[in-house]
Amino acid sequence: MSLSATTDAAAAPFSLRPLLLSNFGCMMAMMAFVAVIGPLVRVLGLQEWQAGATVTISGVLWMALATFWGRASDRLGRRTILLIGVGGFAFFYLVLALFIDYALLAKPGVLIAFAGLMFCRAGMGAFFAGVPGTANALVADHVEPSRRAGAMATVGASMACGVVLGPAVAAMMVGKSLSLPLYATAVLPLLAFLLLFFGLPKSERRVASAVEPVRLNDARIRRPMVVAFATMFCMATTQIVIGFYALDRLGLPPGEAARAAGVALALVGIALVVSQTMMRYIAWRPERLILIGALVSALGFGCALLATSAPVLWSGYFIGAAGMGWIFPSFSALTANAVEAGEQGAAAGAVASAQGFGNVVGPMAATLLYDLSPQLPYGLVALLLVFVALMMWRGPA
């Protein structure tokens, strides 16, 4: 038997609101860090590959633990795993803010600075690994298949709002201190924990588990896993190189480069909100949404490859993110529609593991390619998105 997040008859009706608000807070905090990572590693004396490694380690733990957390949510309940995941993420994010402030003041040396960033990011990844898949499984527990893509898009739009405000807050504060944006946003994951604690259904009933657990090689979820990996690879790649691109390709000083990166990432969030809000009014199948979204996204990041000014770079990121906004909730809905009720957590965890793998490979590949040419990461992203579109067009293998 496993635990489903489906409420008993006497329980309060399910509401997306706790998920919306908590995802918004966690993503806003996360993006405040992404907006300052480029200038931060330069000030601390780290290399580009070390910046990639600090992002990669989070993805490694995400990849390694997502399936574990997903299966645990089938057994223990969505509420329990979401609280553990968000609570652990909040703790390590606060430790990260404190460590960065210490490193900027004390200048402890490259090895200590690198090790501290790696430790904090590893903790964040280990606990955040339980959040996306479990949240999607919770939605799948309560929303019928025909409405899942729209419901998941609504949750995604709340995260996109955090993507907008996180870099905006960082851009406003980064001129005074690179650590100030992290302190300002560290309270948000703590508030997210409280929102989930008081807002998620407390009553959950058991449903029959699958006889055989969902595995990573399950043919039913092969396509959504490929799309999840490719999409996260592209998102992680474009996020990690934006600060360096503004420094080197656009020739901006560190403070201005951080602001340019912040604006680009804020536009990403705006585009995600707009495109995911549109999904509530479009009755297309997930496969068609992924196909069109991948082509639009490839066009946008292809334009970013040619950018020699901040406005052109911002336009490319906006278009690219608009396409991404249709892909993310669609592969989650594709996953949920492919499996049974007792498999939702395990399937969502498996696909989240593929996302984590993309977050592992993307930053390292991006920084290695960036050393060869600043345009190469963007070219690879555009080609990979075209591949995703072709896979959706051909249909299941």
Model confidence over 136-165: pLDDT tens digits? 788 888 877 777 777 777 777 777 677 667
What are the pLDDT digits (tens) for 267-320?
A: 887 888 888 888 777 778 888 899 999 999 999 998 888 887 888 889 999 999
Helix %, strand %, coil % of the chain (to 5): 80, 0, 20
Structural element, H or E, at residue 309: none
**Stretch among 27-36, 63-72, 272-281 having the lowest mean pLDDT:** 27-36
The CATH number of the domain covering residues in 16-200+223-392: 1.20.1250.20
- Look at residue 84 in the predicted model and tell me its pLDDT: 94
- Decide if 181 contacts 101 (C-beta within 8 A): no
Residue 395 pLDDT greater than 70, yes or no: no
The CA radius of gyration of the chain, in Å to the nearest whole number, is 20
Residue 37 CA, chain-centre distance (Å), reads 16
Q: What is the DSSP string of 206-229?
A: EEPPPSS---TT-GGGHHHHHHHH
Mean pLDDT of the chain: 80
* Distance from C-alpha of 122 to C-alpha of 81, rounded to nearest angstrom: 18
* Distance from C-alpha of 208 to C-alpha of 4, rounded to nearest angstrom: 9
Q: What is the pTM of this model?
A: 0.70
Residue 344 pLDDT greater than 50, yes or no: yes
Q: How far is CA 88 from CA 99, 106, 114, 121, 236, in A?
A: 17, 27, 21, 12, 22
Q: How far is CA 350 from CA 88, 192, 218, 258, 344, in A?
A: 21, 24, 9, 35, 10
Residue 378 pLDDT greater than 70, yes or no: yes
Range from 147-161, 171-185, 236-250 that averages highest in pLDDT: 236-250
- Look at residue 9 in the predicted model and tell me its pLDDT: 37
**Stretch among 13-27, 99-113, 301-315, 369-383 having the lowest mean pLDDT:** 13-27
More confident residue, 118 or 354: 118
